[in-house]
Amino acid sequence: MVSLPRLKARREPGERPAPALTRRRPPARRRRFTSTQVWIWFFLTPTVVLYGLYTVYPIIASYWFSFVEWNGFEAEKTWVGLRNYQDVLADPQFWNSFTVTALFTVVAVPVKVIFSLLVALLLNSPKMPLRSLFRTAFFLPVVTTTAIVGVVMQFVFDPTDGPVNQLLLTLGLVDEGINFLGDSSTSLWTVVGVYVWKWFGVTLIYWLAALQTIPDDVYQAAALDGAGPWSMLRHITMPLLKPFTVIISLLTLESTLKVFDLVLTMTNGGPFYSTEVVEIYIYRWSFAATTPQLGFASAAAVIFGMFVCLLGLLQLAGIRAARKAGGLA
Amino acid sequence: MSTTVHKAPGRGWSVARVRNRLVWWVMAVIIGIGALLWVYPFVWMVSASLKDQLEVFGSGLSLLPKTPVWENYARAWTDAGFGQYLLNTVIVTVCTVVLVVVRCAMAGYVIARYRFTGRKTVMVVLIATLFVPTGYTIIPVVEISQRLGLLNSLSGMVIALSGAAHVASILLYMGYFRGVPKELEEAAVIDGAGFLSVFFRVMLPLAMPVTATVTLLTFLATWNAFFLPLVFTFSRPDLRTLSVGMLAFVGENSVDWSGMAAAAVISLLPVVILFVLLQRYFVEGMAGAVKS
């Protein structure tokens, strides 16, 4: 949920505030002008201070911290130049966490985007019975606390008494319970599954919003021309959804890079680092280690941050391209 | 098929109509199974929270407890400290929401409606940070909080939570205030209103729809926050929020399934109730990202 405000903001950068500027008429009198200026900065102060301390400063400081050796928040910092970067890049566990994050994303994004599209297509039809009830059901996990859900899932996937294994045993599909979270060959996929389950509703809502941009009369006209549901889907819905596909995929992609809450509470990165995503790697070196390596962890954070930033720029380019395509269609 | 043509629409049980209906009901059953899967963990959780500690393990797939055991809730509430955790979470969430709404509305208002030196810089910095991942900056956040003496306190947690991101909220307010006709302000000024009362008496009440969205999304983000509350309460267990308390609880009592389930119900119930009551606003607030 932490990622939401960022997601929502994506539509904004394209809008320009300029028109408001030109409409503003210069204040009539000099004295009023200065008192207004004071009020303006008074209004901006809370944002400038809070945002400066907790968003801008941390971004700059992580670069500085990545060049020092620093073993705990109370400890002294010593300048070590690029050594932290060398150490991070030489650490196989960093690359392991990078791979885990990549695998997570590569599997979770398409599964989520495709399946939610299928469900959205069905739920968008007025002929679908109970559609709003279903929408509520799919959306329910989205509003719940990820960390709580993660803990509950530990029990749901328990190898002996968890309901999932109980069901598999009752149906005779397995002879003994599967250790979903305790076995490094299934743990990552279980977490991915829960992740898809948890956030499926968001992508579904995106698709439903996209589908609602297609006016009803387009379908009515097609129906008059004798088009069946299948050809409507192929020749109307799909082409009109195309520009949204890029945006929705990129929004989904970005959100899979923030899975700290779920992974920490479900598996804590284990077993044998099989679910250790980059966020957990950073957390482990900064808070969970006996001697925290804060400089080293900062270097890992910077490297991964740059990677995410690149994805962000890609996203911007993607949305621009999608808008263009949408405008032409 | 041709026989159905001259039948009045909406009447009757023609073959095509029945078949059409049937197809949709089959789809509904398939989707319904999926939807059940989506709700099941919560149903299981509620059921486990009402079983006694042995019944959770022994009863297999049965969801109905023999007799509801309400002591689980008492145990979670008092012994496990979830009453305290709930109070902490409510305090942190309410304070953060108020702080975020006020500061974002104020910033959005002046940026949207006034020209001043530094306006461009403020805008550029806000937009730029949209593309920098904030989740990876936890180390400096903890460092600065410690230097300011705000670590290990609820007020420190509130300040950190309301300082992070929320650019989207500012942009929402900006977009709204930009669209308000300036005659409204001018009329208020002629009536003798100063800068403050123009904002608090005229503009902020006008922006109610935006305030509703920002409140709801900030509420959700703060109630569900985990990383910050976790690192802010390492040495102060009494300040834990629900999400952090839950992790600590299973760390200490991994066999108390019904207590865990009761604690989870206590933690999730407020958001779920709010969601059921305000579902439309949640959905619209989130769908905003695509409707550009």
Provide the pLDDT for residue A108: 94
Structure token digits, residue B80: 């496990």
Dump pLDDT digits (tens) for B155-182: 999 998 888 767 888 888 998 998 888 8
Q: How many residues does chain B have?
A: 292
Dump pLDDT digits (tens) for B194-251: 888 888 888 899 899 889 888 988 998 899 989 889 989 988 888 899 999 999 888 8
CB contact under 8 A, A8 and B172: yes
Angle between helices B279-287 and A187-212 (to 10 degrees): 90
Chain B residue with Cα closest to A169: B60
The C-alpha of B285 sits at a distance from chain A's nearest C-alpha, in angstroms, of: 8
Provide the pLDDT for residue B276: 87
% residues pLDDT > 90 (chain B): 27
Provide the pLDDT for residue B11: 54
Chain B residue with Cα closest to A40: B110
Of B41, B159, B260, the CB nearest to A50: B159
Residue A172 CB neighbour total at 10 angstroms: 7
For chain B, list the domains and their CATH numbers.
Answer: 2-71 (no CATH), 81-252 (1.10.3720.10)
Provide the pLDDT for residue B78: 87
Of A13, A61, A135, the CB nearest to B130: A13
Chunk chain A into consecutive blocks of 10 residues (it has 329) and report each block's average pLDDT, rounded to whole numbers: 39 44 49 74 89 87 89 82 90 93 92 93 86 90 92 89 86 84 90 94 91 85 83 86 84 83 89 90 88 89 86 77 62
Nearest residue to B198 (alpha-carbon basis) of A39, A229, A54: A39
Q: Is the dihedral of CA A307, A313, A316, A320 positive or negative?
A: negative
Kindly give, in sequence order, each residue whose CB lies less than 8 Å from that of residue A137, ignoring residues fewer than 6 positions away: B35, B36, B38, B39
B292 to chain A, any CB pair closer than 8 A? The answer is yes
Separation CA A306–CA A301 (nearest Å): 8
CB contact under 8 A, A139 and B282: yes
ipTM score above 0.90: no
CB pairs under 8 A, 24+ apart, for A156-160? A156/B41, A156/B44, A157/A181, A157/A190
Residues of chain B positioned with their CB less than 8 A from the CB of A190: none
CB contact under 8 A, A1 and B225: yes
Residues of chain A positioned with their CB less than 8 A from the CB of B195: 35-36, 39
For chain A, list the domains and their CATH numbers.
Answer: 4-27+85-328 (1.10.3720.10)
Residues of chain B positioned with their CB less than 8 A from the CB of A123: 31
| pLDDT bracket for residue B85 (50, 70, 90) | very high
CB contact under 8 A, B136 and A312: no
Separation CA B92–CA B162 (nearest Å): 10
